[in-house]
Each structure stands twice: as C-alpha cells, then as structure tokens.
Amino acid sequence: MRTQVVIIGGGPSGLLLSQLLLKAGVETIVLERKTREYVLARIRAGILEQGMVNLLREADVADRLDREGFVHDGTLIASDNDTFRIDFAKSVGVPVVVYGQTEVTRDLYDAREATGGETVFEADDVCLHDVKSDAPYVTFRKDGRDQRIDCDYIAGCDGFHGVSRETIPKDVRQEFEKVYPFGWLGVLSETPPVDDELIYANSERGFALCSMRNANLSRYYVQCPLTDRVEDWSDDAFWEELKRRIPEKAADTLITGPTIEKSIAPLRSFVTEPMQWGRLFLCGDAAHIVPPTGAKGLNTAASDVHYLYHALKDHYLDNSDKGIETYSTRALARVWKAERFSWWMTNLLHRFPEQSGFDRRMQQADLAFLRDNEAAQQAMAENYVGLPY
C-alpha cells in the first residue's frame, strides 16, 4: 500500500487530522491497535476550547456538537463555602463548549466512514521505518498477515504508551515529567448536573469537581490517594465524600444515583522534546500529558493538529515546507503554556500530602487574590478558554 500520510492512532487527534487532510485533498490511512468499539468505550473529559470547536467545524464534523453541546460562559471556584465565578464572557468574550470526548470521537468516525477514509483496526506490531529518510514506511500485522504502507510522512497520534515516541532515539529526545502524589476518582451517573456550570472545589478534605455530559448525565470527581482502588469506593461512600467537599448549597441540591462508570486516574505532567524527527511528527498524548485540572489534554492535542494540518497542507498545496520545518517549535511553545496553566490549577486546588500550614495559607491567599482581582480572573479566563494558535 501507499499513501501520503500514515496516521498512527485512531483517537480524536488522529481522526481530526485525517478529516482535515481529507478535505484538503491529502491522502491518509489511519492505523488503530484496538477496535472502534474499544476506542468509543473510553470515558474522557469533554470541555472544548473554541479553537478545537472551529477545527471540528472546518472538518465538517460539528453538526451534532452545535446542536447538543453546552456553551459555558463561566465556571465556579469554591474554597470551602466561599464560591466565586470566573466570567469568560466578561473577561475575554469567548466561551467553552461541554461536549464529551467520546461523542467527538464518534462524530469523527462517522464522518470518516461517510467520506470513505481508510482506517485499519486491530493493527498489531506497528513499526516505523526510515523516518529520517525521504521514503519512510510503516509495517504492521493484520489478521495474521504482515503488511507495509509506504508514505511521505507519519503522524504519531498513538498516545503516551504508543510506538511513535519510542521511535525517536533516546539520545535525541528529552523528557520532562512531574508525577503528582494523588489521583482522581471519577464517576459517571445518569443524574442531572448539580449546577449549570462546572464547580472546581478546594476543601480541607481535598479537591472535587462537578461536571456534566448533558442535562441527564453528570461527571463528578474527588481527589484520592494513589493507593486507593475503585473497589474501595461504594457509590454511597463517593456521594458522601463529594458532599463534604463542595459548597453546602450544592451539596443540599445534589441528586445522587447509581454510578454507571467509576475509575481512578493518576495525575502527571509530561512533555517530550522535540515533537518531530525526520518525517515523523508527534501529536497529542504521544508528546505530552497534562493533569486534567485545566481541561487541556484534548485541547492541546487539537492545537498540535492545527499546526501539523497547516504544515502538511502548505507542503502539498503550496509547495512550502516552512510549517513542516517549524512544527515542533510552534507546537511546543503552546504546549508549555498549557502545561503551566494545568500545573497552576492543580497546585491551586488540591491538598498535597506534605503541605505545611504555610503552604495552605499561600493557597488560600492565591484563591482570595483570584476572587478579588479582575486581572487575575482575566488571566485565568484567557488560559481556560484557550490561548490562540
């Protein structure tokens, strides 16, 4: 087989890149290690920056998003019972949209099938070859048969545990990592959200987040030790702990019910440099991870897609390689800003095991400054809704 761009990974970043390139007339083949059903069973965050919404519209996959997405003009920050609002509309005039990542991925798969884009599921033993040459290729096994795809470029959109990043030699890449000493216990429940907007709560007992997927599907999180297991948390125990961490008004109106999904996710910050080696480009979690506090994971992947899509389009349509040559530099410049914001949000809202009395007072002072200072609120709003590409 031959194509212009091989995309490793059939998650939202790989699918979005494939749809944008397809619209530009650039041929792609997507290789995914799992089945479509497996990919769509992953539960992920669902806060979309306007930049990602615009990319989905450009790829002609935003019809359902525009009908069903919840436009949010602000968010609530709580410190014990002191609650204040960050007004996105007032501060920056740009909203975010709440629309589940699973739904984004479903829309992208439906669009790819409708346009005849080629996706190879259950592609095992994927290996990248000669990525520093002018003739890279990818090999894999499908149904017990070895197969090969020759191509011009390879986009590694295969996540933190994928093969793409590992293809870059260790003496070439530099990795930066911070592992946080806690995780998030998250549940999904068929209950109405406790509030029309998200509530980020800092309490003496630890962090909590009240979010939603739609009017009858809510997503809630509480900070928990890394040693906890899902089996340690009954539904009743979760709801009681959540009520202790959120403002009394929200706790009194919270509607509880059986959870339909429950999981614990560790938190880490991670960046690899460079994001490009020869004709291989890294996108999304293959190159960087952020803690979910700032809602930047999927959105930062989308910014990578933006830079790589325009670089490849300029190469094929305008015979310009400037975007290809500067992809890693431009992508990383925005990645590090998203990392900083996610790190700041995580430090602002969580309790740390070794946190001293002084550390706690500094955290409370930071929250009070954010509550009372319009410039601080504008800075948070600018970062939360998404910095420009």
User: What residues are annotated to the active site?
Assistant: 72, 200, 292, 296, 384
Rounded Cα gap, residues 289 and 326, in angstroms: 21
- In 3D space, the residue among 217, 204, 281 whose CA is nearest the CA of residue 244 turns out to be 204
Kind of pairing between the strands at 199-202 and 74-79: parallel
Kind of pairing between the strands at 28-31 and 118-120: parallel
**How many C-beta atoms surround the C-beta of residue 159 within 10 A?**
22
**Tokens of residue 206, six digits:** 């630890």
**Tokens of residue 306, six digits:** 């933006």
**How many C-beta atoms surround the C-beta of residue 191 within 10 A?**
17
**Tokens of residue 133, six digits:** 């040459």
Between the alpha carbon of residue 87 and those of residues 76, 183, 371, the distances in Å are: 9, 28, 11
